[in-house]
Structure 1
Amino acid sequence: MKSYIAKPAEVKRNWYLVDAEGKTLGRLATEVATLLRGKHKPTFTPHVDGGDFVIVVNASKVVLTGKKLDQKYYRYHTGYVGGLKEISYREMMAKKPEEVVAHAVSGMLPKNKLRSRMMTRLRVFAGAEHTHEAQKPETIEF
């Protein structure tokens, strides 16, 4: 019996719509990462980018548990000496809620060349409207 190996040309991609309102950030991110990676398909192959397109709406209404709203920080370095910057979760949600969800999903994807290709198929919107009605996305509930 042979194992099935999916080829990149054979991958069929679907569009899914996920509503993030009232969902916990980490639990939402794991489900979205599973869809982007293609692990929900029977033709899953680890080294092939076989995932689907995912649209996340209401990113500004995602929640965190506990005291993470004040204790969670996003850190980055500018490249200059002493250039470590940090932004609190509360401040990041006020400025760019889309980046919060995208950052969480990115951290749950494999750390290799496939991650950037998978992240191009993720579309995150702060509000309830999105610009992909023409693709007829299928709504998914978790």
Structure 2
Amino acid sequence: MTPDETTVARIWTDLGLKPAAAEDDFFDLGGESLVLVGFLARVQHELGLELPVDELFEEDLTVASAARLLDKVRLETGLAALEGMSEAEVAGLLSRASLDGKSEAEVAGLLSRASLEGMSEAEVAALLSRAE
């Protein structure tokens, strides 16, 4: 399992479910609406992320799909935080940290402290390609 899948599985286990694999389904494991609310609250408390409920149901709610949504929200949160910083601030941030070898979560954390405002499309594209 990926680190995010392990986190989801741990939270589900803490809430009384017993996932054994990334493809285990929340509802097949006995999950219900109150347990789902508990999961969302734990994610927000532990990870500082607010998961959109509607996106949880775009596909089967498995450990893997919940982990992908964590990653997506983490990246979107990082990109949204880029707004408001100057090009110089973003460049300064990136110059202080190499992206080589960083996980997606670490890159999202860096991006959460940067901004797209004032950057050209080419500069934004270059920044995002370095983050992938």
TM-score range for the pair, normalised by the shorter chain length? under 0.3
Higher helix share: 2
Higher strand share: 1
- Whose RCO is larger (CA < 8 A, sep 6+)? 1
